[in-house]
Amino acid sequence: SQQGEEDPQALSIQEGENATMNCSYKTSINNLQWYRQNSGRGLVHLILIRSNEREKHSGRLRVTLDTSKKSSSLLITASRAADTASYFCATDKNYGQNFVFGPGTRLSVLP
């Protein structure tokens, strides 16, 4: 079964708005990562947050992690049309031995 589950499955917003995606997982983890996939391409790593961290920033990205609720959120601020992509969370229980991905959130940013 999937370790991570993203929510919502699809999200459509206007350029300039913020986009929030959520990820829930089932078992304990060492870290949680977010990836982006543009249509027809491979996944690109965005940000990693460790189990002892609660919040992390990278440019327009903000990730939070709540290990008590086994959930994470990815916030993209001031979205751009170029942010249109699918976003996946991946949990890592064993320092990279076995990433498990959720089904992803499809984000559409309309100009």
Partner 1 sequence: NAGVTQTPKFRVLKTGQSMTLLCAQDMNHEYMYWYRQDPGMGLRLIHYSVGEGTTAKGEVPDGYNVSRLKKQNFLLGLESAAPSQTSVYFCASSYRTALHTEAFFGQGTRLTVV
Contact 56, 72 (CB under 8 A): no
Residues that bind partner 1 (CB under 8 A): 2, 30-31, 33, 35, 40-45, 48, 88, 90, 92, 95-104
Element (H, E) at 19: strand 19-25
Minimum gap (Å) between residue 84 Cβ and partner 1: 18
Here the tokens at position 101 are 């991905």
CA–CA dist 79, 97 (Å, integer): 33
- The smaller minimum CB distance to partner 1, of residues 56 and 103, is found at 103
Minimum gap (Å) between residue 79 Cβ and partner 1: 22
Minimum gap (Å) between residue 60 Cβ and partner 1: 19
